[in-house]
Structure 1
Amino acid sequence: MTDEAELETLRREIAACRICRDAPQKGPHNRLPHEPRPVAVISSTARILIAGQAPGLRVHESGLPFDDASGDRLRSWLGVDRASFYDREQFAIVPMGFCFPGYDDKGADLPPRRECAPFWRQRVISAMPQIELVLVIGQYAQAWHMGGGGRGGMTETVRAWRGSLLSGRSPAVLPLPHPSWRNSGWLKRNPWFEEELLPILRERTKTLLS
Protein backbone atom coordinates (compact mmCIF):
# COMPACT_ATOMS: atom_id res chain seq x y z
CA MET A 1 0.00 0.00 0.00
CA THR A 2 1.30 3.46 -0.89
CA ASP A 3 2.41 5.65 1.99
CA GLU A 4 -0.08 8.41 2.78
CA ALA A 5 2.70 11.01 2.63
CA GLU A 6 3.51 9.91 -0.92
CA LEU A 7 -0.15 10.25 -1.89
CA GLU A 8 -0.31 13.73 -0.39
CA THR A 9 2.68 14.72 -2.51
CA LEU A 10 0.91 13.32 -5.57
CA ARG A 11 -2.26 15.25 -4.70
CA ARG A 12 -0.30 18.50 -4.47
CA GLU A 13 1.40 17.86 -7.79
CA ILE A 14 -1.96 17.21 -9.47
CA ALA A 15 -3.46 20.35 -7.95
CA ALA A 16 -0.60 22.38 -9.42
CA CYS A 17 -0.81 20.77 -12.89
CA ARG A 18 -1.19 23.17 -15.85
CA ILE A 19 -0.15 20.95 -18.77
CA CYS A 20 -3.42 21.36 -20.68
CA ARG A 21 -3.39 25.14 -20.23
CA ASP A 22 0.16 25.36 -21.52
CA ALA A 23 -0.23 22.94 -24.45
CA PRO A 24 0.04 24.35 -27.99
CA GLN A 25 -3.28 25.79 -29.16
CA LYS A 26 -4.45 24.19 -32.42
CA GLY A 27 -8.18 24.84 -32.71
CA PRO A 28 -11.20 26.76 -31.38
CA HIS A 29 -11.79 24.22 -28.61
CA ASN A 30 -8.16 23.64 -27.72
CA ARG A 31 -7.91 26.42 -25.17
CA LEU A 32 -9.35 25.83 -21.70
CA PRO A 33 -12.26 28.18 -20.94
CA HIS A 34 -11.07 28.66 -17.34
CA GLU A 35 -7.89 28.46 -15.31
CA PRO A 36 -7.26 24.77 -14.61
CA ARG A 37 -8.71 23.35 -11.40
CA PRO A 38 -7.78 19.66 -11.33
CA VAL A 39 -10.36 17.49 -9.57
CA ALA A 40 -9.36 14.02 -8.36
CA VAL A 41 -9.79 12.03 -5.15
CA ILE A 42 -6.83 9.73 -4.47
CA SER A 43 -7.01 7.30 -1.58
CA SER A 44 -4.74 4.92 0.31
CA THR A 45 -7.65 2.86 1.65
CA ALA A 46 -10.58 2.99 -0.82
CA ARG A 47 -11.37 -0.33 -2.48
CA ILE A 48 -13.57 1.23 -5.18
CA LEU A 49 -12.26 3.55 -7.91
CA ILE A 50 -14.67 5.61 -9.98
CA ALA A 51 -13.01 6.29 -13.33
CA GLY A 52 -15.01 9.00 -15.09
CA GLN A 53 -14.60 11.34 -18.04
CA ALA A 54 -13.84 14.93 -17.00
CA PRO A 55 -15.37 17.47 -14.60
CA GLY A 56 -18.31 19.56 -15.75
CA LEU A 57 -18.63 23.27 -15.07
CA ARG A 58 -20.40 22.84 -11.72
CA VAL A 59 -17.69 20.45 -10.55
CA HIS A 60 -15.05 22.91 -11.73
CA GLU A 61 -16.69 25.58 -9.59
CA SER A 62 -17.15 23.46 -6.45
CA GLY A 63 -14.07 21.26 -6.66
CA LEU A 64 -16.19 18.21 -5.75
CA PRO A 65 -16.41 15.40 -8.33
CA PHE A 66 -19.94 14.52 -9.44
CA ASP A 67 -21.34 17.47 -7.50
CA ASP A 68 -24.34 17.74 -9.82
CA ALA A 69 -27.41 15.86 -11.03
CA SER A 70 -25.15 13.23 -12.61
CA GLY A 71 -23.67 12.62 -9.20
CA ASP A 72 -27.11 12.23 -7.66
CA ARG A 73 -27.93 9.54 -10.21
CA LEU A 74 -24.56 7.82 -9.74
CA ARG A 75 -25.00 7.74 -5.96
CA SER A 76 -28.45 6.24 -6.50
CA TRP A 77 -26.92 3.56 -8.73
CA LEU A 78 -24.37 2.77 -6.03
CA GLY A 79 -26.87 2.89 -3.18
CA VAL A 80 -24.75 5.32 -1.12
CA ASP A 81 -25.31 8.76 0.37
CA ARG A 82 -23.19 11.89 -0.20
CA ALA A 83 -21.22 11.43 3.01
CA SER A 84 -20.06 7.96 2.00
CA PHE A 85 -19.44 8.98 -1.60
CA TYR A 86 -17.15 11.86 -0.59
CA ASP A 87 -15.31 9.87 2.06
CA ARG A 88 -11.95 9.24 0.42
CA GLU A 89 -11.37 6.30 2.74
CA GLN A 90 -14.20 4.59 0.84
CA PHE A 91 -14.08 5.93 -2.73
CA ALA A 92 -11.30 7.08 -5.02
CA ILE A 93 -12.54 9.24 -7.91
CA VAL A 94 -10.15 9.83 -10.80
CA PRO A 95 -11.49 11.11 -14.14
CA MET A 96 -9.63 10.67 -17.42
CA GLY A 97 -9.17 14.44 -17.55
CA PHE A 98 -8.77 16.35 -14.30
CA CYS A 99 -10.01 19.72 -15.57
CA PHE A 100 -13.24 21.03 -17.12
CA PRO A 101 -12.55 20.99 -20.89
CA GLY A 102 -15.33 23.42 -21.93
CA TYR A 103 -18.26 23.03 -24.30
CA ASP A 104 -18.55 22.20 -27.97
CA ASP A 105 -20.62 24.19 -30.47
CA LYS A 106 -23.78 22.33 -29.44
CA GLY A 107 -23.35 23.02 -25.72
CA ALA A 108 -22.17 19.52 -24.78
CA ASP A 109 -19.08 18.96 -22.68
CA LEU A 110 -15.94 18.45 -24.73
CA PRO A 111 -13.96 15.20 -24.34
CA PRO A 112 -11.32 14.93 -21.62
CA ARG A 113 -8.13 16.78 -22.48
CA ARG A 114 -5.77 14.44 -24.33
CA GLU A 115 -2.70 15.65 -22.41
CA CYS A 116 -3.93 14.46 -19.04
CA ALA A 117 -4.18 10.66 -19.11
CA PRO A 118 -0.78 9.93 -20.75
CA PHE A 119 0.94 12.11 -18.17
CA TRP A 120 -0.92 11.17 -14.98
CA ARG A 121 -3.08 8.09 -15.23
CA GLN A 122 -0.69 5.18 -14.84
CA ARG A 123 1.11 6.92 -11.98
CA VAL A 124 -2.16 7.56 -10.14
CA ILE A 125 -3.48 4.03 -10.68
CA SER A 126 -0.18 2.50 -9.56
CA ALA A 127 -0.33 4.58 -6.37
CA MET A 128 -3.56 2.81 -5.32
CA PRO A 129 -2.79 -0.95 -5.43
CA GLN A 130 -5.53 -1.67 -2.87
CA ILE A 131 -8.32 -0.93 -5.37
CA GLU A 132 -10.52 -4.01 -5.93
CA LEU A 133 -13.22 -2.63 -8.23
CA VAL A 134 -12.97 0.00 -10.96
CA LEU A 135 -16.22 1.54 -12.20
CA VAL A 136 -15.45 2.81 -15.69
CA ILE A 137 -17.88 5.50 -16.77
CA GLY A 138 -18.14 6.46 -20.42
CA GLN A 139 -16.20 5.58 -23.55
CA TYR A 140 -12.90 7.31 -22.74
CA ALA A 141 -12.49 5.60 -19.38
CA GLN A 142 -13.62 2.29 -20.89
CA ALA A 143 -11.09 2.53 -23.73
CA TRP A 144 -8.22 3.11 -21.28
CA HIS A 145 -9.18 0.67 -18.53
CA MET A 146 -10.58 -2.08 -20.73
CA GLY A 147 -8.34 -1.86 -23.78
CA GLY A 148 -9.93 -3.71 -26.67
CA GLY A 149 -12.88 -4.52 -24.44
CA GLY A 150 -13.97 -0.90 -24.49
CA ARG A 151 -13.99 -0.26 -28.23
CA GLY A 152 -17.28 -1.78 -29.33
CA GLY A 153 -19.40 1.25 -28.46
CA MET A 154 -20.73 2.18 -25.06
CA THR A 155 -23.95 0.13 -25.25
CA GLU A 156 -22.23 -3.10 -26.26
CA THR A 157 -19.45 -2.55 -23.75
CA VAL A 158 -21.90 -2.10 -20.87
CA ARG A 159 -24.12 -4.92 -22.12
CA ALA A 160 -21.14 -7.27 -21.81
CA TRP A 161 -20.61 -6.28 -18.17
CA ARG A 162 -20.74 -9.85 -16.83
CA GLY A 163 -17.77 -10.93 -18.90
CA SER A 164 -15.81 -7.92 -17.73
CA LEU A 165 -16.73 -8.14 -14.05
CA LEU A 166 -16.25 -11.90 -13.82
CA SER A 167 -13.12 -12.14 -15.98
CA GLY A 168 -10.89 -12.83 -12.98
CA ARG A 169 -8.73 -9.76 -13.60
CA SER A 170 -7.61 -7.70 -10.62
CA PRO A 171 -8.93 -5.21 -9.95
CA ALA A 172 -12.35 -6.15 -11.30
CA VAL A 173 -13.76 -3.73 -13.87
CA LEU A 174 -17.42 -2.82 -14.35
CA PRO A 175 -18.41 -0.55 -17.27
CA LEU A 176 -21.21 1.97 -16.77
CA PRO A 177 -22.88 4.59 -18.96
CA HIS A 178 -22.41 8.18 -17.91
CA PRO A 179 -25.11 9.09 -15.34
CA SER A 180 -25.82 12.36 -17.16
CA TRP A 181 -29.40 13.43 -17.80
CA ARG A 182 -28.48 13.21 -21.49
CA ASN A 183 -28.51 9.41 -21.08
CA SER A 184 -32.06 9.24 -19.69
CA GLY A 185 -33.31 8.06 -23.06
CA TRP A 186 -30.64 5.35 -23.16
CA LEU A 187 -31.74 4.09 -19.75
CA LYS A 188 -35.33 3.82 -20.94
CA ARG A 189 -34.27 1.91 -24.06
CA ASN A 190 -32.09 -0.45 -22.06
CA PRO A 191 -34.14 -1.57 -19.02
CA TRP A 192 -31.73 -4.49 -18.43
CA PHE A 193 -29.27 -1.98 -16.99
CA GLU A 194 -31.45 -1.16 -14.00
CA GLU A 195 -32.96 -4.64 -13.73
CA GLU A 196 -29.80 -6.75 -14.02
CA LEU A 197 -26.65 -4.67 -13.57
CA LEU A 198 -27.61 -2.23 -10.81
CA PRO A 199 -28.49 -4.89 -8.20
CA ILE A 200 -25.04 -6.44 -8.70
CA LEU A 201 -23.37 -3.03 -8.53
CA ARG A 202 -25.12 -2.20 -5.25
CA GLU A 203 -24.27 -5.60 -3.81
CA ARG A 204 -20.58 -5.27 -4.73
CA THR A 205 -20.48 -1.71 -3.39
CA LYS A 206 -22.03 -2.72 -0.09
CA THR A 207 -19.59 -5.60 0.29
CA LEU A 208 -16.51 -3.50 -0.44
CA LEU A 209 -17.60 -0.70 1.88
CA SER A 210 -18.30 -3.04 4.77
Structure 2
Amino acid sequence: MNLILLDPSEVDGHHARITDARRLTHLHEVHRANEGDRLTVGIQGGAMGKATLTELNKTQALFALEDINEPPPPALPVHLVLALPRPRMLARTLEHVTALGVKEITLLHTKRVEKSYWQSPELRPEKIHQHLILGLEQARDTQLPNVTLCKGFRPFMEEQLPALLTERRGLVAHPGMENACPRGIDEPTLLLVGPEGGFIPWEVEQLLAAGCEGMHLGPRILRVETAVTALLSRLF
Protein backbone atom coordinates (compact mmCIF):
# COMPACT_ATOMS: atom_id res chain seq x y z
CA MET A 1 0.00 0.00 0.00
CA ASN A 2 2.01 2.95 -1.32
CA LEU A 3 -0.89 5.32 -0.70
CA ILE A 4 -3.39 5.46 2.14
CA LEU A 5 -6.52 6.04 0.10
CA LEU A 6 -9.29 7.77 2.02
CA ASP A 7 -12.96 7.68 1.18
CA PRO A 8 -14.42 11.21 1.30
CA SER A 9 -16.72 10.02 4.10
CA GLU A 10 -13.63 9.39 6.25
CA VAL A 11 -12.46 13.00 5.96
CA ASP A 12 -13.70 15.77 8.23
CA GLY A 13 -12.02 19.08 7.47
CA HIS A 14 -8.30 18.65 8.10
CA HIS A 15 -8.69 15.31 9.85
CA ALA A 16 -9.33 11.74 8.71
CA ARG A 17 -10.26 8.52 10.47
CA ILE A 18 -10.06 4.94 9.21
CA THR A 19 -11.42 1.90 11.02
CA ASP A 20 -11.32 -1.04 8.58
CA ALA A 21 -9.18 -4.02 9.48
CA ARG A 22 -7.28 -4.24 6.18
CA ARG A 23 -5.73 -0.80 6.28
CA LEU A 24 -5.18 -0.90 10.04
CA THR A 25 -3.34 -4.21 9.70
CA HIS A 26 -1.22 -2.73 6.91
CA LEU A 27 -0.31 0.28 9.02
CA HIS A 28 0.68 -1.94 11.95
CA GLU A 29 2.44 -4.80 10.16
CA VAL A 30 3.79 -3.37 6.90
CA HIS A 31 4.33 0.33 7.52
CA ARG A 32 5.12 -0.38 11.18
CA ALA A 33 3.73 3.09 11.67
CA ASN A 34 3.94 5.08 14.87
CA GLU A 35 2.14 8.16 16.07
CA GLY A 36 3.86 11.20 14.62
CA ASP A 37 4.81 9.53 11.32
CA ARG A 38 4.09 11.47 8.11
CA LEU A 39 2.48 9.26 5.47
CA THR A 40 1.27 9.72 1.91
CA VAL A 41 -2.51 9.89 1.66
CA GLY A 42 -5.04 10.58 -1.06
CA ILE A 43 -8.76 11.22 -1.22
CA GLN A 44 -10.80 9.14 -3.68
CA GLY A 45 -11.62 11.33 -6.64
CA GLY A 46 -9.38 14.10 -5.32
CA ALA A 47 -5.81 15.08 -4.61
CA MET A 48 -2.93 13.58 -2.66
CA GLY A 49 -0.50 14.86 -0.04
CA LYS A 50 0.93 14.19 3.39
CA ALA A 51 -0.75 13.49 6.70
CA THR A 52 0.56 13.04 10.21
CA LEU A 53 -0.57 9.95 12.08
CA THR A 54 -1.93 11.27 15.38
CA GLU A 55 -3.38 8.07 16.83
CA LEU A 56 -3.09 4.39 15.96
CA ASN A 57 -4.57 1.46 17.83
CA LYS A 58 -6.42 -1.77 17.05
CA THR A 59 -9.69 -0.05 16.19
CA GLN A 60 -8.79 3.18 14.41
CA ALA A 61 -6.15 5.43 12.90
CA LEU A 62 -6.45 9.20 13.04
CA PHE A 63 -4.63 11.57 10.71
CA ALA A 64 -4.03 15.30 10.60
CA LEU A 65 -4.10 16.24 6.93
CA GLU A 66 -1.55 18.70 5.60
CA ASP A 67 -1.39 20.15 2.09
CA ILE A 68 -3.59 17.78 0.07
CA ASN A 69 -3.09 19.42 -3.32
CA GLU A 70 -0.94 17.07 -5.40
CA PRO A 71 -2.81 15.82 -8.48
CA PRO A 72 -2.90 12.09 -9.24
CA PRO A 73 -0.79 10.75 -12.12
CA PRO A 74 -2.28 11.21 -15.60
CA ALA A 75 -4.58 8.51 -16.94
CA LEU A 76 -3.76 6.47 -20.02
CA PRO A 77 -5.74 7.59 -23.11
CA VAL A 78 -7.33 4.17 -23.49
CA HIS A 79 -10.66 2.42 -23.09
CA LEU A 80 -9.92 -1.26 -22.46
CA VAL A 81 -12.43 -3.81 -23.73
CA LEU A 82 -11.52 -7.13 -22.19
CA ALA A 83 -13.22 -10.45 -22.83
CA LEU A 84 -14.19 -11.61 -19.35
CA PRO A 85 -11.32 -13.76 -17.99
CA ARG A 86 -11.58 -16.54 -15.45
CA PRO A 87 -12.37 -15.11 -11.97
CA ARG A 88 -8.92 -15.38 -10.39
CA MET A 89 -7.32 -13.83 -13.46
CA LEU A 90 -9.95 -11.09 -13.51
CA ALA A 91 -9.02 -10.00 -9.99
CA ARG A 92 -5.31 -9.68 -10.82
CA THR A 93 -5.99 -8.04 -14.17
CA LEU A 94 -8.23 -5.36 -12.67
CA GLU A 95 -5.53 -4.50 -10.15
CA HIS A 96 -2.79 -4.40 -12.81
CA VAL A 97 -4.63 -2.23 -15.33
CA THR A 98 -5.81 0.14 -12.59
CA ALA A 99 -2.23 0.55 -11.39
CA LEU A 100 -1.17 1.32 -14.97
CA GLY A 101 -3.71 4.13 -15.29
CA VAL A 102 -6.64 2.68 -17.25
CA LYS A 103 -9.85 4.56 -16.38
CA GLU A 104 -12.41 2.98 -18.69
CA ILE A 105 -12.89 -0.80 -18.68
CA THR A 106 -15.57 -2.87 -20.42
CA LEU A 107 -15.81 -6.56 -19.56
CA LEU A 108 -17.26 -8.34 -22.60
CA HIS A 109 -18.80 -11.72 -23.32
CA THR A 110 -17.38 -13.51 -26.36
CA LYS A 111 -17.79 -17.01 -27.75
CA ARG A 112 -14.89 -18.51 -25.78
CA VAL A 113 -15.87 -16.93 -22.46
CA GLU A 114 -17.39 -19.52 -20.15
CA LYS A 115 -20.93 -18.43 -19.24
CA SER A 116 -20.32 -19.52 -15.66
CA TYR A 117 -17.75 -16.71 -15.28
CA TRP A 118 -20.61 -14.20 -15.20
CA GLN A 119 -21.89 -15.81 -12.01
CA SER A 120 -18.60 -15.30 -10.17
CA PRO A 121 -18.59 -13.38 -6.88
CA GLU A 122 -15.66 -11.42 -8.34
CA LEU A 123 -18.18 -9.50 -10.46
CA ARG A 124 -20.08 -8.19 -7.47
CA PRO A 125 -19.73 -4.40 -7.32
CA GLU A 126 -18.04 -4.52 -3.92
CA LYS A 127 -15.45 -7.05 -5.14
CA ILE A 128 -14.67 -5.06 -8.28
CA HIS A 129 -14.35 -1.94 -6.13
CA GLN A 130 -11.93 -3.75 -3.82
CA HIS A 131 -9.61 -4.70 -6.67
CA LEU A 132 -9.70 -1.19 -8.12
CA ILE A 133 -8.79 0.25 -4.73
CA LEU A 134 -5.82 -2.11 -4.44
CA GLY A 135 -4.60 -0.98 -7.85
CA LEU A 136 -4.90 2.69 -6.89
CA GLU A 137 -3.05 2.14 -3.61
CA GLN A 138 -0.25 0.39 -5.45
CA ALA A 139 0.22 3.15 -8.03
CA ARG A 140 -0.48 6.18 -5.81
CA ASP A 141 -3.59 7.21 -7.70
CA THR A 142 -6.97 8.46 -6.52
CA GLN A 143 -9.22 8.26 -9.60
CA LEU A 144 -11.34 5.11 -9.73
CA PRO A 145 -11.83 3.48 -13.14
CA ASN A 146 -15.31 3.04 -14.56
CA VAL A 147 -16.13 -0.64 -15.14
CA THR A 148 -18.98 -1.69 -17.45
CA LEU A 149 -20.29 -5.23 -17.91
CA CYS A 150 -21.47 -6.26 -21.39
CA LYS A 151 -22.89 -9.78 -21.55
CA GLY A 152 -23.51 -9.90 -25.31
CA PHE A 153 -21.08 -9.53 -28.21
CA ARG A 154 -23.70 -8.56 -30.79
CA PRO A 155 -25.26 -5.84 -28.61
CA PHE A 156 -21.77 -4.49 -27.98
CA MET A 157 -21.04 -4.37 -31.71
CA GLU A 158 -24.35 -2.71 -32.55
CA GLU A 159 -24.96 -0.42 -29.58
CA GLN A 160 -21.60 0.50 -28.09
CA LEU A 161 -18.71 0.01 -30.51
CA PRO A 162 -19.71 2.68 -33.09
CA ALA A 163 -19.77 5.40 -30.43
CA LEU A 164 -16.53 4.17 -28.84
CA LEU A 165 -14.76 4.40 -32.20
CA THR A 166 -16.00 7.90 -32.95
CA GLU A 167 -13.00 9.58 -31.31
CA ARG A 168 -10.71 6.61 -30.70
CA ARG A 169 -8.36 4.42 -32.69
CA GLY A 170 -9.57 0.83 -32.41
CA LEU A 171 -6.91 -1.83 -31.91
CA VAL A 172 -7.68 -5.56 -31.71
CA ALA A 173 -4.97 -7.68 -30.11
CA HIS A 174 -5.10 -11.14 -31.65
CA PRO A 175 -2.48 -13.76 -32.59
CA GLY A 176 -1.76 -14.03 -36.29
CA MET A 177 -2.60 -10.45 -37.23
CA GLU A 178 -0.40 -8.94 -39.94
CA ASN A 179 0.85 -5.89 -38.05
CA ALA A 180 2.81 -5.75 -34.80
CA CYS A 181 1.58 -3.76 -31.82
CA PRO A 182 2.53 -0.10 -32.29
CA ARG A 183 4.79 1.63 -29.78
CA GLY A 184 4.54 4.85 -27.84
CA ILE A 185 1.28 6.24 -29.16
CA ASP A 186 -0.56 9.06 -27.38
CA GLU A 187 -3.88 9.23 -29.21
CA PRO A 188 -7.21 8.14 -27.67
CA THR A 189 -7.41 4.39 -28.17
CA LEU A 190 -9.91 1.56 -27.86
CA LEU A 191 -7.98 -1.62 -27.02
CA LEU A 192 -9.82 -4.92 -27.45
CA VAL A 193 -8.33 -8.08 -25.93
CA GLY A 194 -9.86 -11.52 -26.31
CA PRO A 195 -10.19 -14.40 -23.85
CA GLU A 196 -7.93 -17.40 -23.41
CA GLY A 197 -7.91 -18.95 -26.86
CA GLY A 198 -8.57 -15.57 -28.46
CA PHE A 199 -11.53 -14.21 -30.37
CA ILE A 200 -13.14 -16.62 -32.82
CA PRO A 201 -12.59 -15.75 -36.52
CA TRP A 202 -16.10 -14.35 -36.94
CA GLU A 203 -15.59 -11.95 -34.03
CA VAL A 204 -12.29 -10.75 -35.48
CA GLU A 205 -13.94 -10.21 -38.87
CA GLN A 206 -16.72 -8.17 -37.27
CA LEU A 207 -14.29 -5.99 -35.33
CA LEU A 208 -12.12 -5.34 -38.37
CA ALA A 209 -15.15 -4.57 -40.51
CA ALA A 210 -16.27 -2.03 -37.90
CA GLY A 211 -13.04 -0.10 -38.33
CA CYS A 212 -10.64 -1.65 -35.82
CA GLU A 213 -7.04 -2.52 -36.71
CA GLY A 214 -5.63 -5.97 -36.00
CA MET A 215 -2.24 -6.34 -34.28
CA HIS A 216 -0.13 -8.94 -32.52
CA LEU A 217 2.50 -9.11 -29.76
CA GLY A 218 4.71 -11.65 -31.45
CA PRO A 219 4.76 -15.44 -31.69
CA ARG A 220 4.35 -16.16 -27.97
CA ILE A 221 0.89 -16.93 -26.60
CA LEU A 222 0.49 -15.08 -23.31
CA ARG A 223 -1.96 -15.31 -20.45
CA VAL A 224 -4.54 -12.55 -20.51
CA GLU A 225 -3.16 -10.67 -17.51
CA THR A 226 0.36 -10.77 -19.01
CA ALA A 227 -0.82 -9.79 -22.49
CA VAL A 228 -2.83 -6.81 -21.24
CA THR A 229 0.09 -5.50 -19.19
CA ALA A 230 2.49 -5.95 -22.11
CA LEU A 231 0.10 -4.26 -24.54
CA LEU A 232 -0.45 -1.22 -22.34
CA SER A 233 3.26 -0.86 -21.64
CA ARG A 234 4.17 -1.07 -25.31
CA LEU A 235 1.36 1.14 -26.57
CA PHE A 236 1.74 3.97 -24.05
Highest RCO, 1 vs 2 (Cα 8 Å, sep ≥ 6): 1
Fold shared per TM-score above 0.5: no
Give 1 or 2: higher strand fraction. 2
In the superposition, the TM-score normalised over structure 1's length comes to: 0.30
- Bigger Cα Rg: 2
